[in-house]
Amino acid sequence: MLSKKNKNRDRNITHFLYVLPNLLLYSILSVVPIVLGLYYSFTDWNGISKKYNIIGLANYAKILSDKRFRKAVIFNLRYAGMLIICIMILAVILGLLLNSKVRGQNAYRAIYFFPACISMLTIGLIANYIFFQGVPSIGKSLGIVALQKNILSNRSLAIYGILVTNVWKSVAIPTVLVISALQTIPKEITEAATVDGASSWQRFWRITVPYILPILSIIFVLVLKEGLMIYDLIMALTSGGPAGATESITLSIYRLGFEDSKFGYAISEAMLVAIIIAIISVIQIRFTDKRKIYD
């Protein structure tokens, strides 16, 4: 008979062999590109040539004085902030409504979840046609001057056209997460609060919010990442225009690397953005972790 030590060793080897394929794929597709990207961020590589020079922190120093990058960061932070507020508020409202007993509940869930099944690029192309043809035609028919112009051609308003489209596409998954969190709230607590005379607002703020706070934290990080990494929707709607008013960080990185042949500099910007997302995510998770309810 095998000893206990040998059995444990065989079990560990078996577990390792099961994990090995995923570990190899993750290393090849994620870890290796990150390490290579970090290396090339210290070079002046143009993305094609076999020859390049190690320039140390010169790329990162240049970023600090790059007006284009600073403008893109301001746009992304502003956009991500608005996206987080809109999606989190709508997700909670829709979650509360769809979690309640209403007629046609399944139909409503299918309707709001439908955009999540379509790719972001397809959504962008559809929205582009709506803003370019549909809305102006409606404005002319109704005699509303404000609707007769394409909102995406306005430097001040283009960001809101992108925002509305993104919210419509992305609110479904957060809503599902909120619904799942709402279903974990013990009914006994809610019923006891109702008997004690707590108002709907008090029950929401004192019971519902603490229970869904961990999910809201996850939604915050996911939406923050989406807001800072937005690319395909902007390409489909405005291509960064008008006059660079909606050029995001990712679009700037793409153009630097593949249009301007500044691959090393583009990677250094990508690394900096990844660090920013990581720092904000850690702060948010720690902040909400202190306020959530533990079972």
List pLDDT tens digits, range 24-43.
Answer: 999 998 899 889 999 999 99
Residue 83 has what pLDDT?
A: 96
| Domains along the chain with CATH numbers | 67-289 (1.10.3720.10)
pTM: 0.83
Q: What is the pLDDT of residues 108-123, one digit of tens each?
A: 777 778 888 888 889 9
Q: Is the pLDDT of residue 191 over 60?
A: yes
Amino acid 273: pLDDT: 86
Sign of CA pseudo-dihedral 215, 294, 194, 192: positive
d(CA 96, CA 182): 8
